[in-house]
Structure 1
Amino acid sequence: MDNQNKNLILATVLSFVVITVWFFLFPPEEQSPAVAEELATEQLADPSAPATGTAATTTVAISEPVQDAPRVPVETPELTGSISLLGGRIDDISLLNYNIDMGSDEIVHLLNPVGGDRDGYYAAFGWSPNAGVDTAGVPGPDTLWSLESGETLTPDSPITLVWDNGAGLTFRNTYSVDDKFMMTIDQTVTNASGTTATITPYGVLRRFTEPDDLKGFFVLHEGLVRMSDSALQELSYKDIRNEETADRIEVLESGWIGYTDHYWLTTIIPDQSQPFTSVSRLQPGEVYEADAFMPSQTLADGTDATVSTRFFVGAKEWETLREYENEQGVTGFINAIDWGWFFFLTKPIFWLLHNINAVIGNMGWSIVALTVVLKALVLPLAYKSYVSMAKMKELQPQMEKLKEEAGDDRAKLQQGMMKLYRDNKVNPASGCMPMLLQIPIFFSLYKVIFVTLELRHAPWIGWIRDLSAPDPSSILNLFGLLPYSTPEPGSLFFILSLGILPIFLGVSMWLQQKLNPAPTDPSQKMIFAWMPWVFMFMLGSFASGLVLYWITNNVITFIQQYAIMRSHGHKPDVLGNITSAFNRNKAKAEE
């Protein structure tokens, strides 16, 4: 391994250290709560907007405080809550099968009424006026509807809300829901006004302030997410605040728009065969708003029109999103999961992990099995590297002799080493191949473990009850033998609270290092000697699933490398190396 490749590995390690220290010293800025607590709306038509065809350009503005209104219960196998007759707002939805924390009985509250105990977050579906209709003649998020049919919204029983504008237009919103997380809202208008009317249907999604549990971590996107004609766009809350005007996209055929959290998603999905206008904006009082304006409807007297829009509110379950995409035609819906830059690796890695887990039934052992599969796939590429490293290990005595002969003449040492490599047909750069192969896989698996819902609260064995969280054991209380609590994850001292898995990680890296040829440069030799223990502390605060992968990877690499070395006549004396190192350190201490 030449200096250039060693420097590459050193730079990678130092990058890990710099990133870790940076996030400890300069944590992401916490956003202050928004001032606004109450909201109602009015629709304002843009005079320059087209009357027919594509969606009219509209805005939604802050108005008077909302009033209490009757509610219609929502009960499904996955959802519980209610819909307010005020605006027909879907503003009270909780996820029955997901708790906020391990050991907590409180379920996840996703949508909340404005002015309640939690920050307001709701979706509403209404109409915007165009030709022949004024603002008061269409229903919006502050319109008080009446319940026309149904008592409780369930997968088997839809509900219908009705509102008459008193001028000949009658509006109905029919809500239906499946047994997962998808609602369908059929907006119907009947014209008996004696004249032609043109109006625009829309869906609006409003979030009052950023979520309380905003991670603010660079590896995870939280904020607006939308698909526009197969093009994915992600805007963080900071991006939205920095926009001076509404971010508007004219979608020609298919797409959706909404907000994504770490594990949860709310999104408006217009008819995938029709154009619509996708709008992201920040309302006064830091109210984040996502709008979908569908094509305008022109109704002659005595006619009616119906526009169907879907609304997803729930968990980002991979199988569920894939079914909505493949079976129900929601374009690119699986990309609501933040697969990241290495999506070409994260997607197949998760697919493989998911299918392995379907057979094994334990996500921890599935990660172990996944690691075995990945190591088997890259073995043909890594084989030559292990062979080269075995040959370099055999050449170690000759390299030490060259070093003694060259003294301080580094040019002579370099020339001698290159000749030694050439004569023995050894490529020192190939020894770095296993590390280079592991880096993108490591980051991809880290992404999978961090962002996918399937790893959330997934147990492995014993004390590892959540593979998406750090190892809860700690050397500070002798792994639970002493009655002392340990630092919370994310605190400055948590990095010192080594668990069992991080310690195994350090030991496995140290053992693996014993099979590799030692660097000839003293400084590099010292850095490489400290590397396992640096990684042990660095990865100690990472998700247990990721540390489990790294340990398994190290153990398999050790076995592969040891077997290949022996097959080429070299017999690594790992225990002897350990004993020699111990004796040397003991001798130095006695001196």
Structure 2
Amino acid sequence: MDDQNKNLILATALSFLVILVWFVLFPPPEPTPTTEQAEIASIEGNEVQTPSAADTGTVGEATASATEAEAEPEAPRVSIDTPRLTGSLSLAGGRIDELSLKDYKVSLAEDSPIVELLSPVGSDSAYYALYGWAPGAGLSVTDVPGPNTLWTLEQGETLGVDTPITLAWDNGNGLTFRRTIAVDEDYMFSVTQSVENTTDAEVGMAPYGILARHGMGEDGDLPGLKNFFILHEGVMVMSDGVLDEIDYGDVRDFDIDPNERAQAEVYQVKEGGWIGFTDHYWMTTLIPAEGAAFKAAAKYDSRRKIYQTETVLPTLTVAPGTTEEVTTRLFAGAKEWETIREYQAEGVQKFIDSIDWGWFYFLTKPIFWLLHNINALIGNMGWSIIGLTLIIKAILFPLAFKSYVSMAKMKELQPQMEALKEAAGDDRQKMQQGMMELYKKEKVNPAAGCLPILLQIPIFFSLYKVIFVTIELRQAPWFGPFQDLSAPDPTSIFNFFGLLPWAAPAPESLMALIFIGILPLLLGISMWLQQKLNPAPTDPTQAMIFAWMPWVFMFMLGGFASGLVVYWIANNTITFTQQYLIMRSQGYKPDVFGNIKSGFKRTPKTDNK
């Protein structure tokens, strides 16, 4: 390989290293929503006001002041039981506020509890959904059910897949409100709100839905947040086909002034969308009817550290003697690709984008689709990652073949290039012109060897995104000690690569950087062997950088998800095999063992044929 080609490869590798360090030190800012702050004032000209997060926090709120309404006593609850969900809802406000996911455990431990998604006010991290009606002209807040209204269970006993329930409340002034809640076999609730008007006057009111999360930290930070730059956690808003992501720090900018009306980030949705909170693997989302216009908002109450998202639908006019109703949906569950895709097919606009596919979504989506289908055939995510690597390498093989053929031809031209250097002496311009003429004559592209490396960078980041953010990789086993491919290698020199009964150092500790696992070690060795297909550069500085590079990457990638390291090892192994066989087929015989020996002697070895 000539100096120019080596410089290109070195620059590419160093650029890759710089990108990694840059992303760690200077994470990209979250996109800033384009809408302006505005008041939740009216819907279609009728003045309405939804409850603020402060209003939803009075039940069981330990920090409630003496001037606020006292908490209601423990309200009756209705059980929720489906094949995938368990929990209950409270008749106080009709809140869906206790929900756990039967299919997911918190950890791999045998006694680990299942994941709790929603929890009631008074718990360590209250998180719940509630629905109601915002009063229009001529009505007061006492005429409509509020966050603390005690409902009556009118129909049903347990909320299940085929057993919806109906709640009822009579305001005593001629209006009867009902709420029918149903749930499917996965994670979607349907909430039908109706109002019966037995008065002799027309009334107007706007149906709303609210999601509220109580933050526990000094700055309102929620417990359990990853706070990692590659992952969005916070509010997601789909507004007429445009997705906005707002992290919790930015939501805190939409603070509710207790002396003013609620200020919020407001989205006027004309033809459909949704809004909700997303975590690493879990999500809650308010979803009005397909094609419906509504107002979506995100806001924050700094007094009680409560985050809130809401949807407010257009005001309904209820004539005397009539009943009006509206149906919306609530997603509360795991961000499973197949499940979310089915809901999108049923009309939830761009719901698949609730999974954080990242900047390289045009690569991330097809890579995940391919990995998902390979795993469906093989049934083991570790071997599926290796199978995915084989397919990616097969797709890139034509380019790789041209690259390695070009590299082999460069080796063939080495004697002529050395002669040009001697003839040119110190005249670098003459030497470069001579080399360009030689490349043109022999039809050799000196940069061709770098193209596969350049293509690997976005593929690497896309696969990293897939492994890190998709729940299908969460706690996905391979074999032996590798029981969670979304986590770092659990083996270590410290526990003799998993043979001893104690755990490896925690991934975030300094010890983990020193006592690396078997996968990072194999990664370093595979990169080192790939280098040995060619002699060390003649330039001492380049030779030193190349010599250290595999071991630097070994320690850098050691804390990454083990599934990603498996991919990188497989990629290096396949690349080594391809390059060795192609270069031999072109007449150049890489002297791997000779290059290894010369590396230990610290003296560059000349090419062999």
TM-score (norm. length: structure 1): 0.90
2:333 equivalent among 273, 291, 314: 314
Matches within 5 A, 1:61-460: 62-63=54-55, 65-66=58-59, 67=72, 68-103=74-109, 104-116=111-123, 118-209=124-215, 210-243=221-254, 245-284=263-302, 285-326=304-345, 328-396=346-414, 414=432, 417-418=435-436, 420-460=438-478
Report deviation, 1:507.
Answer: 1.0
Residue 593 (structure 2) pairs with residue 575 (structure 1): yes
Instruction: Write the distance in 2 (CA, Å) between the matches of 1:185 and 1:58.
Output: 18
Letter in 1 for 2:206: T
Task: Tell me the distance in 2 between the aligned counterparts of 1:503 and 1:397.
Answer: 37
Are positions 1:60 and 2:78 aligned together? no
Stretch deviating more after TM superposition (204-213 or 59-68): 59-68
Conservation of the 8 A alpha-carbon contact between 1:132 and 1:196: no
Deviations 1:162-212 (A, max 9, x none): 111111110011111111111111101000122110000000000111432
Task: Select the residue among 560, 571, 574 that pairs with 1:556.
Answer: 574
Is the contact made by 2:254 and 2:298 (CA closer than 8 Å) also made in structure 1?
no
State the one-letter code of the partner of 1:242: D
Q: 1:456 to 1:375 in 2, by over 3 A?
A: same
For the 8 Å contact 2:54–2:306, the answer to whether it is kept is no
SS in 2 for 1:77: coil
CA separation of 1:514/1:423 partners in 2, compared to 1, >3 Å: closer, same or farther?
farther
| Structure 1 residues 230 and 426: CA distance shift in structure 2, 3 A | same
Q: Distance in 2 between matches of 1:22 and 1:228?
A: 32
C-alpha contact 2:6 2:537 (8 A) present in aligned 1: no
What does residue 18 of structure 2 align with?
Answer: 15
Aligned mates of 2:192, 2:451 — CA distance in 1: 57
Alpha-carbon distance between aligned partners in 2 of 1:361 and 1:131, rounded to the nearest angstrom: 59
User: Residues 61 and 235 (structure 1 numbering): CA distance in 2 closer, same or farther, change over 3 Å?
Assistant: closer
Of residues 513, 535, 538 in structure 2, which corresponds to 1:495? 513
Aligned partners of 1:397, 1:59: CA distance in 2, in Å? 81
Once the two structures are TM-superposed, the CA of residue 461 in structure 1 deviates from its matched residue by 1.4
Return the offset for 1:408. 7.1
Cα 1:155–1:148 change in 2 (3 A) is same
Identity across aligned pairs (percent)?
Answer: 59
Of the three residues 503, 508, 532, the one matched with 1:514 is: 532
Q: Is the 8 A contact 2:271 2:291 kept in 1?
A: yes
Q: 2:560 aligns with which of 494, 518, 542?
A: 542
- Residues 393, 516 of structure 1: 8 Å contact kept: no
Alignment partners' CA distance in 2, 1:519 and 1:56: 74
CA–CA separation in structure 1 for the residues paired with 2:434 and 2:541: 20
Moved more, 476-485 or 501-510: 476-485
Distance 1:390 1:247 in 2: 60
- Give distance in 2, aligned partners of 1:354 and 1:95: 22
Candidates 3, 8, 19, aligned match of 1:5: 8
How many residues were matched structurally? 564
Deviates more, 1:282-291 or 1:183-192: 282-291
Alpha carbons 1:168, 1:192 under 8 Å: kept:
yes
Match of 2:44 among 50, 58, 62: 50
The answer to whether the 8 Å contact 1:196/1:299 transfers is yes
Name the CA shift for 1:216/1:48 in 2 (closer, same or farther; >3 Å): closer
Unaligned runs of 5+ in 2: 30-38, 60-71, 216-220, 256-262, 604-609
> Is the alpha carbon distance of 1:532 and 1:3 closer, same or farther for their aligned partners in structure 2, counting shifts above 3 Å?
closer
Cα–Cα, structure 1 residues 366 and 14, in superposed 2: closer, same or farther, change >3 Å?
closer
What is the CA-CA distance between 1:416 and the residue it aligns to? 5.5
Change (3 A) 1:19 1:453: same
**SS in structure 2 at match of 1:331:** coil
Separation in 2 of the partners of 1:409 and 1:500?
50
**Is this contact kept in 2: 1:192–1:301, CA < 8 A?**
yes
RMSD of aligned alpha carbons: 2.6
Specify the code of the residue in structure 1 equivalent to 2:340. Answer: L
Q: Is the 8 A contact 2:490 2:503 kept in 1?
A: no
- C-alpha distance after superposition, 1:39-69 (max 9, x if no partner): xxxxxx97755356xx956452524721221
Task: Kindly provide the amino acid, as one letter, of the partner of residue 85 in structure 2.
Answer: L
Rounded Cα–Cα distance in structure 2 between residues aligned with 1:382 and 1:510: 19
Alpha-carbon distance in structure 2 between the residues aligned to 1:138 and 1:57? 12
Could you say if the C-alpha distance between residues 308 and 483 of structure 1 is closer, same or farther in structure 2, counting changes exceeding 3 Å? closer
Query: Whole-Å Cα distance in 1 between the matches of residues 602 and 355 of structure 2?
Result: 52
> Does the 8 Å CA contact 1:297/1:305 hold for their aligned counterparts?
yes
Distance in 1 (CA, whole Å) between partners of 2:436 and 2:206 is 75
| Separation in structure 1 between the aligned mates of residue 6 and residue 571 of structure 2, nearest angstrom | 25
Report the residue type matching 1:268 in the other structure.
L
Amino acid at match of 1:114: V
Letter in 2 for 1:436: L
The alpha-carbon distance between structure 1 residues 60 and 533, as it changes in their structure 2 partners (threshold 3 A), is same
Post-superposition CA distance 1:479-518 (Å, at most 9, x none): 2455664320122332222111111111111111122464
Shift of 1:3: 7.2
Q: C-alpha separation between the residues in 1 aligned to 2:99 and 2:471?
A: 19
Moved more, 521-530 or 333-342: 521-530
C-alpha offsets along residues 258-316 of structure 1, whole Å, 9 cap, x if unaligned?
Answer: 00000001001111121111111112322110000012110111001111011010001
Residue type matched to 2:307 in 1?
Y
SS at match of 1:428: coil
TM-aligned CA deviation for residue 444 of structure 1: 0.5
> How far did residue 524 of structure 1 move?
2.2
Structure-2 separation of matches of 1:205 and 1:319: 24
Contact 2:536–2:595 (8 Å) recurs in 1: no
- Where structure 1 has 5 or more consecutive residues not aligned to the other structure, the ranges are 29-44, 586-591
